[in-house]
Amino acid sequence: MSKVQSPVYKGNFVKGDWRMPKTDSCFESINPATEEVIATCRMSGKQEVDEAVSSAHEAFQAWRRIPAPHRAEILYTFSDLLASRKEAIARTMTIEMGKVLAESRSELGATIAACRYMAGEGRRLFGETIPTSANERMAMTIREPIGVVACITPWNFPIALAAYKIFAALIAGNTVVWKPASNVALSACAFTELFALAGLPPGVLNLVLGSGSQVGEALVEHPDVKVISFTGSTAVGIGLAEKGSKTLKRVSLELGGKNGVIVLADADLDKAAEGIVQAAFTTAGQRCTAASRVIAEESIREELERRVVALSKSITVGDGLQPGVEMGPLATRSQLDTVERYAEIAKSQGGIVLTGGERLERAGYFYAPTVITNVRPTDRIAREEIFGPVLAILGAKNFEEAVAINNNTEYGLSSAIYTNSLHYAGRAMRELESGLVYINSGTSSSETGAPFGGMKMSGNGHREVSHHAFDSMTEWKTIYTNV
């Protein structure tokens, strides 16, 4: 296969122009499949954050006055541009964070769909009219933009998770400063470039590249930033909420998960095994909605394990640009180290590795698809987010115990159940403590237009990918008119 041309680092995007940060500190973008350095990028600091926020703050008053249907036209144009460059950007994503090319294409397909959906919301920013007690009075509500929105996003979905926030913010009339994860800086540059081509006015969207400790902290502490929209770890999210509360910032958090799949004795085990493996090992398990626990009724647990292990062993692991590869590497060396450490912890606590449980001996950050049984609900592998291709299997006596095990975690993002019983399916809809519940499918297949977000320590109640995103991005204004 011919050598792939490396994507381009452009620096920060502020006030409609590309600018190189003035600091001397740098970070590297590394291909996790080859460990090749793709680009050396400049680290931003407080000065760069101040410039970006100032740019967004200055652009806000003009942008908010553009009617929402006209703001939507820019998103429609953007969606067409993204579709035209889908293949090139998908390859950049795979080179930077490792997911297989088919997944990168799928992520961009979902981003295009979300863009067109949110553009449609430009004609659906509805308010209400309210009956009043006076004959001469009318009361109504309208949505108002808030101001500068800081979008802080992770590397596992380098485009989609940022796009969901950015699209909603822009349609609502806000301006944006975006800080992506450093290891997907080139993907962020390629995505941001399209907004200028689509006709977005200078300053409405600004990109700042750098570390969370420098750029992220400066954004959350900046007085002109009014909204923080964050996807990432629960620990970091809690810290952002604490700091943001000091200036009464609106803080929207989409955090971690420890997602369980319940399999009852009456389930179709072939379908259950297929759904579990897909949810556990797509993106090498680096999804907040990835299936990391299976809770199976004891009478069918061993048979389910046999099917899950057979499918897991059949997964082709390798460079995501190569044809036929089904699972790529971990995104970073540190993530690879974390996954390996958790597998060792599981074994030390009595877990039995049915397949995998080791690094693959090759260049790159590869870890084998891993299935571990004999796991107890109190074991760390059953309670803590790993963010890698490791699946824990637990047993349960019946539906009630399975639900109790599923809910016995601080997280509440996604849950699933496989059953042919309408009774148990109905009970699961009500009793599973998670923002997403799937009946007879895996834990990771959300759709545009359906609210996305978690309960408990998986989020703070805000929802994305639907019109509910405007709850984070707007203020309600009530207007009384006497005639």
The structure tokens 């099917």 sit at: 307
Tell me the DSSP string of 346-402: HHHTT-EEEE--SB-SSSSS-B--EEEES--TTSGGGTS---SSEEEEEEESSHHHH
Residue 16 C-beta-side C-alpha neighbours within 13 Å: 10
Flag residues of the chain having pLDDT under 70: 1-6
| Residue 113: both structure tokens together | 């769909």
Enumerate the active-site residues. 254, 288
How many of the other CB atoms lie within 10 Å of CB of 85? Answer: 16
Q: Which pLDDT score, from 0 to 100, does residue 5 have?
A: 53
Query: Of the candidates 283, 261, 272, which has an alpha carbon nearest to the alpha carbon of residue 308?
Result: 272
CB of 35 within 8 A of CB of 233? no
Query: Of the candidates 187, 203, 209, which has an alpha carbon nearest to the alpha carbon of residue 61?
Result: 203
Residue 333, classified by CB atoms within 10 Å of its CB into exposed (0-12), middle (13-18) or buried (19+), is middle
The full set of domains in the chain, from first to last, is: 12-255+459-482 (3.40.605.10), 259-447 (3.40.309.10)
Over residues 388-435, the pLDDT tens digits come to: 999 999 999 999 999 999 999 999 999 999 999 999 999 999 999 999
Buried b (16+ CB within 10 A) or exposed e, 413-439: bbbbbbbeeeebbebbeebbbbbbbbe
Rg of the chain, C-alpha, whole Å: 23
**What 3-state DSSP class applies to 26?**
strand
